[in-house]
Amino acid sequence: MFNSIAICGFTIVITVGLASLAAFPLARRKGKIWRLISIYFLCAVTVPIQLFIFPLYFIFAALGIVGNPFATSLILSAINLPLAVFLLRTYVLAIPQELDDAAFMDGAGSWKTFWYVILPLLRPGLITVAILVGFNAWNEFMITSTFQQGQANFTMTLGYLSMNSTIVTDRGIMMAGALIIIFPIIIFFLAMQRFFIGGMTAGAVKG
């Protein structure tokens, strides 16, 4: 459970932080360069991660960071980042640009405008993206099974898989394990449901 929480937490923080920083200029800046960057993120959504597993594992093994939760979260963040950028870009587009202009008139630069004006108004989108990314990281199997080797580095999903024997399987233990895995997700979603629905509604249309 510690490994699952660590990977999930690191992935959410990295993805939400970088996606919010990228979404602001992509929504506000105009020009060919920014359109090309948007196309790059769009193409990144369609590229399967399976193409990069072997070179990534080679690099991680050379660096000695196989089994490191933070290192694994970097891969999961890269997988979720393109979609998170597009979602947050939609939320930024819904924020009137007149607020940016007013901040500039008061002497605020791009960073202060983002930190004090855009980021507080982006809270519903940040929560929505955090929930989606958290679910993906918690349920991830292919990446964690490749890079979290060793029983001490198992996530809850890998631990549940190791309970299934080819000879004999205790169905009662398997059901109890499944309940332990899904229970934190259910509690988390019920606690954040109001913010999730509000965030999806807020980002559905452009203001």
Tell me: the pLDDT tens digits for 172-203? 777 877 778 788 777 877 777 666 655 555 54
Question: Which helix or strand (DSSP H or E) is residue 64 part of?
Answer: none
Residue 206 pLDDT more than 80? no
**Rg of the Cα atoms in the chain:** 20
Distance CA 103, CA 120 (A): 14
Q: What is the pLDDT of residue 207?
A: 41
State pTM to two decimals. 0.82
All structural domains of the chain, each given as residue ranges with its CATH number in brackets, are 2-202 (1.10.3720.10)
How does pLDDT run across 13-37, given as a tens digit for each residue? 999 999 999 888 888 887 778 778 8
Direct distance between the N- and C-terminal alpha carbons of the chain, in angstroms, rounded to an integer = 41
Q: Which two tokens stand for residue 31?
A: 């020009």
Q: What is the per-residue DSSP string for 109-150?
A: -HHHHIIIIIHHHTHHHHHHHHHHHHHHHHH--HHHHHHS-S
How does pLDDT run across 67-111, given as a tens digit for each residue? 899 999 999 999 999 889 988 988 888 888 888 888 888 888 888
20, 10, 40: which is closest to 140 by C-alpha? 10
Q: What is the pLDDT of residue 72?
A: 93
Q: What is the pLDDT of residue 199?
A: 53
Residue 157 near residue 1, CB atoms below 8 Å: no
